Structure 1
Amino acid sequence: MKKALVASLPDPSGNPRPNRAIKLLYNMGFEVHTLSPRLKYKMKEVTLTFEINPSEISNSFKIFRRLLLLINSLAGIFKLGISFFHKTYSLIWKIKDQEERLKNEYYNLIIVEDLTLLPFFVKNYTNKSKIILDAREYYPKEMEGSFYFRHIVAPEKRHLCKLLLKKIDGFYTVSNGLAELFEREFSIRPEVIRSTPYYNKVKYKPIKDFPVKLVHHGVANRDRLLENMIFVLAGLEGRYTLDFYLTGDENYIRELKVLGHKSKNVNFHDPVPFSEINEMLCSYDIGFYFLVPAGFNTKFNLPNKFFEFIQAGLGVVIGPSPEMSLIAQEFGVGIISDDFTVQSMIKTLKSKSLKDLNLIKNNSIEVALQLSWETESKKLESIIKNLMV
């Protein structure tokens, strides 16, 4: 039996992209191991986990990790080689603790879910295993709103891309915008494999009256300016409600709750497990994701939640984000504001009738299979089959 390893910094049992890759590999007949944090939710597809990046670490190790990350950034500026980054990132993510055990394993295929994990595999597995990178971000512009990132961290990310991308066997990313920039900057074009969930057959549930129930779920990052969605609701005169299911920055979530509690039509709920997202979404009318672009990655964002809204038969309300807008228009599954101002979104939603909203809901159900992992996964399956010849 062929063996595959999926290397992921977040827990793949609760993270959609590595989770789907693991299940695809399993269904293709691979024995699947992970190099990842301990799995919170049991996965029958995973035979063995080599634990890295633990959620609980000592304060002294946190300081040590920050120091190493700074040293890595300087090493990127001075363009040091793979061996250096292999050693430092193995310490940072605690891969070093698993190296001896990993030496006893042979893998036909390795899927790596983060650029900073690649030095370890390029150093140790080149010419032994086929290595694929799932680039979920354009790394040199990951947090470009930060002065520190732009001037200290980004040169390292750019250097790592130049150093590593030419040494791996496969490479894919989440959207065309990211793929085009990778090609322009590094002369390697990745395949585009979108973050689509599994197909869910749901019944059409028309909205019969106002208020319309909007929903938003996901990670609360400050650069996503989620407060703008609360400001939009304040201007809709009770015609809509909005429920949040958020993980991430607890301080930011508390600030959002203070803002939201001033309004009777904004509510906050505990996040639900990955496996229960579709069931939760199906109890709402429309998915809402008003993402003001804070940089390149957010401009060309094409997230899981966009497709999860469609799989739940909701349709989406979005700003004019290029990648999301393209799909929303092509398949008739979205309502798009003219620009990224709160006033524009208020105007857009006020102008829509229940008939308009029900149309995008019905269209979402009609195209759900086309925009599902069952369809999208064929691209990754093809990459893997070609590498295994």
Structure 2
Amino acid sequence: MSSRPSLLIISFSTLISDPRVTKQIEIFKDRYDLYTCGMGPAPEGVKHHYEIPFGTRDWVLDRFAMVTRQYHRAYWDLPAVKLAQELLPVDHFDAVFANDIASVPVALSLKAKKGTHADLHEYFPELKNNDLQWRLFVSPYMKWLCATYLPQATSRTAGSAGFARRYTEDLGIPFGVVTNAAPFADREPTSVGDPIRMICTTAGARARKIEIIIEAMRGVTSNVVLDLIVMPNEPDYVASLKELGAGVPGVSFRDPVDYDRLVDTVAEYDVALSFIPPTNASKALALPNKFFEGVQARVGVIIGPGPEMTPLLEKYDLGESSADYSVEALRATLNGLNAEKVERWKQSAHRAAPELSSEEQVKVWFAAVQAILG
């Protein structure tokens, strides 16, 4: 019988390809008896995995419950929630680590012996507030979930200082911050290419407005080329982007790569684009993986004027921000690129890489779980 405390990590995602969850598994698997619950196969190094089959719905099916604001029914009738409750033992784990608001109520229902930590990857009350239906019917549900269950967690973290600030303003409870930093990569910056090679890795979702990036390349006068790696989240949208890009010189598409190969792939380039228009509060306050992957790849980073990314960009001289989120502003930034400027950014990324690595960030999670377990 093990003398180590037991910890369950739960997430309604594919655990082995969820960047934030894989970092949690990595830091806890050698310290505790680690259990996981989520979609896909068992992550390496865990004591036991409670698998939720792919496609098990964790999104509300009951429209009547949503319209009539019967939120308790809407949540607890979710197939993924019901299955997790069937799979997971109550009063069994010393601590539970819940990822995202959808897993927090289930995590609390397991009655961990010492406590529960909640990690919020996004700002959920306004996750898709650019959509009217979502704003009218889903946002109130998200606010209910957060207000009802987050105060019951022993401790909480969020993916950016902006997210943490909004949650604290909403709920009056403290949140720590763990950014989506990438693991430290021991590499040297490469020399700047001719032409300057740019890469954009992104989810293929309309809310990302990726067409702005493609249109900005139309008529660019500087010596640059752009490759895009776009995940097929919305296949018809991705198809329209490829059709648009076919008519723009210097724009190409690459197939998606596994997460563990992403930094190596970005390192083939000179500049990474982390340009995310603020179509909702979650996008406006984003501090995304791709920003930190650019740092670990030792490339420059071009962003829009986001309040979370800009201070880090300027503090470490990692790249440049466009004046706004328009095609014209991004094109002006791209037209200002030259080899000397990009070389400076790449060297700055090299100096900042240790400090901006996930190894520094995950210490916050480790401290939170240690505080729960004593």
**Common fold, TM-score beyond 0.5?**
yes
CA contact (8 A) 2:100 2:122 kept: no
Asked if the contact 2:119/2:157 (under 8 Å) is kept, the reply is yes
Alignment of 1:343-362 (within 5 A): 343-362=328-347
Q: Distance in 1 between matches of 2:156 and 2:245?
A: 41
Structure 1 segments of 4 or more deviating over 6 A? Answer: none
Matched, 1:33 2:35: yes
Mark the CA change 1:260 to 1:371 in structure 2 (over 3 Å): closer, same or farther. same
TM-score (norm 1): 0.90
Q: Does 1:122 align with 2:122?
A: no
Aligned length: 370
Alignment-derived partner of residue 228 in structure 1: 212
Change in 2 beyond 3 A, CA 1:238/1:367: closer
Distance 1:354 1:100 in 2: 58
User: How far apart, CA to CA, are the structure 1 residues paired with 2:207 and 2:43?
Assistant: 33
Write the mapping of 1:333-348 to structure 2, written as runs, cut at 5 A.
333-348=318-333
Maintained 8 Å contact 1:72/1:88: no
The counterpart of 2:266, out of the listed 277, 281, 284, is 281
Once the two structures are overlaid, the 10-residue window that deviates more, 190-199 or 377-386, is: 377-386
Instruction: Find the aligned partners of 2:149 and 2:236 in 1 and give their Cα distance.
Output: 36
Per-residue deviation at 1:264? 3.2
Name the counterpart of 2:23: 20
Contact residue 74 and residue 156 of structure 1 kept, 8 A: no
Report the CA distance between 1:55 and its aligned residue. Answer: 2.6
1:87 to 68, 72, 76: 76
Q: What does 1:158-169 align with in structure 2 at a 5 Å threshold?
A: 158-169=143-154
Q: Is the 8 A contact 2:196 2:223 kept in 1?
A: yes
Using the alignment, how far apart are the partners of 1:167 and 1:105 within structure 2?
16
* Deviation at residue 72 of structure 1 after TM alignment: 4.5
**Aligned position for 1:146:** 131
1:240 is matched with which residue?
Answer: 224
1:67 paired to 2:56: no
Partner of 1:44: 44
Cα distance in 2 for partners of 1:136, 1:309 equals 20
CA deviation map 1:284-334 (0-9, x unaligned): 111012211101111111011110011000120111111111110011102
Check conservation: 1:286, 1:317, Cα contact below 8 A. Answer: yes
Identity %: 23
Please report how far the alpha carbon of residue 145 of structure 1 lies from its aligned counterpart in structure 2 after TM superposition.
0.6
Letter in 2 for 1:87: W
Instruction: Determine helix, strand or coil for the equivalent of 2:229.
Output: strand
Q: Which runs of 5+ in 2 are unaligned?
A: none
Match of 2:141 in 1: 156
Counterpart-to-counterpart distance in 2, 1:36 and 1:282: 31
Cα displacement string for residues 329-383 of structure 1 (whole angstroms, at most 9, x for unaligned residues): 0111021111111111111221232111111111001110000011111111111
Q: CA RMSD in A?
A: 2.0
Q: Which amino acid aligns with 2:54?
A: S
C-alpha distance 72-193 of structure 1, shift in aligned 2 (>3 A): farther
Deviation at 1:21, TM superposition (A): 0.5
* 2:13 corresponds to 1:10: yes
Cα distance between partner residues in 1 of 2:310 and 2:293: 16
TM-superposed CA distance for 1:74, in Å, is 3.7
2:54 corresponds to: 55
Q: Distance in 2 between matches of 1:235 and 1:318?
A: 20
TM-score, length-normalised on structure 2? Answer: 0.93
Q: Which residue of 1 aligns with 2:179?
A: 194
Gaps of 5+ in 1: none
- The within-5 A match list for 1:265-280 is 265-280=250-265
Helix, strand or coil: the match of 1:103?
coil
Q: Secondary structure at the match of 1:125?
A: coil
Please state whether the residue corresponding to 2:15 is helix, strand or coil: coil
Contact 2:205 2:237 in 1 (8 A): yes
Write the distance in 2 (CA, Å) between the matches of 1:220 and 1:286.
Answer: 20
SS across alignment from 2:370: helix
